Amino acid sequence: MSGVYQRFGVRTIINASGPATRLSGSIMAPEVAEAMAEAGRSCVDIAELQAAASSVIARHTGAEAGYVTSGAAAGLLLGTAACVTGLDPTRMNRLPDTTGMKSRVVMARSHRNFYDHAVRSVGIELVEIGISDRFSGAGVRDAEPWEYAAAIDDDTAAVVYVAYAHTQPELSAVVEVAHAASVPVIVDAAGQLPPASNLSRFLAEGADLVAFSGGKAIAGPQSSGILAGRRELIQAAALQHLDLDILWDQWNPPAGLIDKSRLPGAPHHGIGRPCKVGKEEIVGLLTALERFVEEGDDARRARWLEHMRQLAEAAGSLPGAEVELRDDPKRAAIPAVHVQIDEDACGKTALDVVRALQDGDPSVHANPSHVREGVVAFGPMCLKDGEPEVVGRRLREVLGG
């Protein structure tokens, strides 16, 4: 199982947290891994493969077109670049110098996060609106649609919206003010799957582009993602991502992806070139996407819940800690186990427990997001059969159960 890692002297870990990049993402199904291996055994025209991917992504998202990226962050970069340049190859060649282009991108302060490096790297000016009163506890309101409207001007290339279950304002209200000024809306929906219905939801609510991670719930290759949305923007994204080092008269791009007749010439290696995608990732992502849709939310949830049950059962009752199986679908799309640590009773903080699990053998990674509230959290998305029991046993050992 761990042969390749052993060969390079790297231990495998138990990922009881989730598909974080630092923990190497999710685990691919054998069919996905086999599809990638097979893809690696033949060469194809990469644009033709992306055109085929566009159809598959369009079918599952309701988008006009789609594209396989090297992750959601790459999707944000390509989407932003597409909104800034349109189909103008001169502009594409000039990025990240945005002189003379629409180059302001509007974002609510409460949506800001360090993944927006991908947006900023295009050379835009990020315009923040609103104050995060709701998050600081000082107020009840987040950014409001009128504040987007006030910030949008003739130089605005796009609005970037980060979708979480708790995100305010509503996407449809932001789309309304942005579209009133003919400004496209890019949605970062990297981790917003499941439910599978979210594949089409943000576009149905009016988003022009939406970016998903391929290496999270879809369980595709870790360095894959989806960009879906308006055909013209996907075309502009593709032009700044594909290797177009080819003679113009020789160039025959697939009509499903690129309309050559609309271009005065082809851009050179674009701003998206550093986040290139291989045939293996494209085929792996498409295979994983089809499996993700086919399995369905209920079966996936049942599979995840079973692992969380096994983990809670193996942990049993612990001295100085309360084990809670969180299985209410209304509270969380993904089941979880929360272990509330009573620091006085067990002499350890939640962070101590997270570290002891991580530094033990095998190394078990819990989700540290709630340690300040004394909670060690566990998620099912990257656990393999047999591992929940090991996590429960390690918890008993660490807490002296």
Ligand X SMILES: *Cc1c(COP(=O)(O)O)cnc(C)c1O
Site for ligand X in 219-248 (CB under 6 A): 225
- Binding span for ligand X by CB under 6 A among 37-45, 67-75, 134-142, 195-203: 67-75
For the bound state, the minimum distance from the C-beta of residue 140 to ligand X, rounded and expressed in Å, comes to 24
Nearer to ligand X, 163 or 398 (CB): 163
Site for ligand X in 189-218 (CB under 6 A): 190-191, 213, 215
For the bound state, the minimum distance from the C-beta of residue 37 to ligand X, rounded and expressed in Å, comes to 22
**Which residues does residue 291 pair with via DSSP β-bridges, in sequence order?**
none
Nearer to ligand X, 252 or 369 (CB): 369
- Binding span for ligand X by CB under 6 A among 60-68, 146-154, 186-194, 368-376: 186-194
Nearer to ligand X, 227 or 395 (CB): 227
For the bound state, the minimum distance from the C-beta of residue 276 to ligand X, rounded and expressed in Å, comes to 14
Classify burial at 182, counting beta carbons within 10 Å of its beta carbon; exposed 0-12, middle 13-18, buried 19 or more: exposed
Q: Which amino acid is at 340?
A: Q
Ordered DSSP codes for 81-150: HHHHHTT-HHHHHHTT--TTS--EEEEEGGG--GGGHHHHTTTPEEEEES--HHHHTS-S----HHHHHH
Nearer to ligand X, 225 or 278 (CB): 225
Q: Which of 18, 66, 71, 270 binds ligand X (CB under 6 A)?
A: 71
Q: Which of 188, 205, 280, 387 binds ligand X (CB under 6 A)?
A: 188
Nearer to ligand X, 291 or 396 (CB): 291
What are the strands of the beta sheet with 336-341, ordered from one edge?
321-326, 336-341, 375-378
Q: From 23, 49, 31, 32, select the one nearest 285 (Cα to Cα).
A: 32
Decide: helix, strand or coil at residue 37: helix
For the bound state, the minimum distance from the C-beta of residue 157 to ligand X, rounded and expressed in Å, comes to 19
Sign of the alpha-carbon torsion through 76, 294, 386, 284: negative
Rg (CA), the chain: 23
Widest CA span of the chain, in angstroms?
A: 76
Nearer to ligand X, 26 or 50 (CB): 26
Nearer to ligand X, 205 or 310 (CB): 205
310 sits in which H/E element: helix 297-315
Q: Does 123 bind ligand X (CB under 6 A)?
A: no
Q: Which of 47, 73, 227, 356 binds ligand X (CB under 6 A)?
A: 73
Q: Does 72 bind ligand X (CB under 6 A)?
A: yes
**Ramachandran area for residue 130 (φ above 0: left; ψ -120 to 50: alpha; else beta):** left
Site for ligand X in 9-28 (CB under 6 A): 21
Rounded to 5 degrees, what angle do the CA atoms 173, 178, 181 make? 135
Q: Which residues bind ligand X (CB under 6 A)?
A: 21, 71-73, 115, 162, 188, 190-191, 213, 215, 225
